[in-house]
């Protein structure tokens, strides 16, 4: 009877490429699907609780200004175009902020809203936005409507938490 089995060392070596390929596939899947799982879709409830926006927060919102808008486009590794809005937020008030949520609105030539998205740009895990500080935040969009008038969007505070 003929034995077609490989010696133990060759058997281990023959599995190595398959193990490496499997690990690479798992890594790619994790990179692709992990951000999708954290992203909320328009109209869906965000998993995080809403930030406070009572009278004190609304009064302080006017002390947060936005400017220096810039737009860039890039292609991700899935060959999808991603548009990134960079916006500078300035805390002109006297209180540090731990969390900040904004609503971004893109308009058409008739100044009608063609896209409205709410994003948390400052989280509890990021450094606080202290009084007098200016910081640039990047917000990515997978698609912007063709009707967009190509002007800077409207940005307003819709929630904040003091530090």
pLDDT value, residue 81? 87
- Sign of torsion over alpha carbons 156, 118, 91, 87: negative
What are the 10-residue block averages of pLDDT along the chain, 163 residues in total? 52 67 70 51 59 96 96 85 94 98 97 96 96 97 93 96 96
Residues 6+ apart with CB under 8 A from 162: 57, 60, 95, 96, 97, 98
pLDDT value, residue 157? 98
99 sits in the region (left: phi over 0; alpha: psi -120 to 50; else beta) called: beta
Q: Measure the CA angle with vertex 67, ends 141 and 90; round to 5°.
A: 105
pLDDT value, residue 31? 62
CA–centroid distance for 87 within its chain: 13
Beta-ladder partners of 83 = 73, 141
pLDDT value, residue 12? 57
Beta-ladder partners of 117 = 104
Contact status, residue 137 vs residue 97, Cβ threshold 8 Å: no
pLDDT value, residue 43? 42
Structure tokens at 16: 């190595």
């Amino acid at each position: 009877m003929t034995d077609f089995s490989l010696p133990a060392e060759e058997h281990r070596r023959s599995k190595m490429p398959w193990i490496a390929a499997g690990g690479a596939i798992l890594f790619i899947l994790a990179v692709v699907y992990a951000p999708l799982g954290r992203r909320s879709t328009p109209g869906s409830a965000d998993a995080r609780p809403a930030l406070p926006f009572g009278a004190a927060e609304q009064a302080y919102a006017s002390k947060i200004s936005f400017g220096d808008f810039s737009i860039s486009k890039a292609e991700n590794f899935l060959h999808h175009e991603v548009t990134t809005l960079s916006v500078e937020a300035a805390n002109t008030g006297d209180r540090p902020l731990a969390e900040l949520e904004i609503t971004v609105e893109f308009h058409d030539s008739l100044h009608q809203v063609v896209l409205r998205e709410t994003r948390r740009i400052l989280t509890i895990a990021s450094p606080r936005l202290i009084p007098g500080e200016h910081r640039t935040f990047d917000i990515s969009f997978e698609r912007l409507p063709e009707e967009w008038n190509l002007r800077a969007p409207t940005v307003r505070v819709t929630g904040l938490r003091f530090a």
